Amino acid sequence: MTRLLGVAKATELMMLGEVVYAETAEQIGLVHRVVEPERLMAEALTLAEELAKRPPLSIALIKQCILKGSEMPLEEALHFEQDAFWQTMRSEDAARLMREYTQGERTLSEM
């Protein structure tokens, strides 16, 4: 929780032990989205479908940068991200997406 919210907010929440309701959890960054319980599965599937449309290598490298990078010293994490960026830019997906964009088949918002 400390890494997610910062020392001050994590300390406050843990020491007070108060219930954190959904809206507050979203506001402080403890969760990224709040949905009604009956919409939970539909929202989760929509998000999963959107992620599945993205280049798998890019998604995997983004996850690695976030999870591993947050555990590294800053300079090492920046090198890790730089390597991931160049690996992504040399991928077949990147070449295809850039080709589609330059040929007018894709817009920036579709990339």
User: pLDDT tens-digit profile of 7-34?
Assistant: 999 999 999 999 999 999 999 999 999 9
Same domain, 13 and 35: yes
Same domain, 43 and 76: no
Same domain, 39 and 77: no
Number of domains within the chain: 2
Q: What is the per-residue pLDDT for 40?
A: 96
Same domain, 61 and 44: no
pTM given for the model: 0.70
When pLDDT is cut at 50, 70 and 90, the band that residue 39 belongs to is very high
Q: How far apart are CA 67 and CA 107, in angstroms?
A: 30
Same domain, 67 and 97: yes
Q: Which of 32, 52, 72 is the last residue of a domain?
A: 52
25, exposed or middle or buried, with CB in 10 Å at 0-12, 13-18, 19+? middle
User: pLDDT tens-digit profile of 49-103?
Assistant: 999 999 999 999 999 999 999 899 999 999 999 999 999 999 999 999 999 999 9
CATH number, domain containing residue 86: 1.10.12
Same domain, 105 and 70: yes
Q: What is the per-residue pLDDT for 3?
A: 81
Range of the domain at 89: 56-110
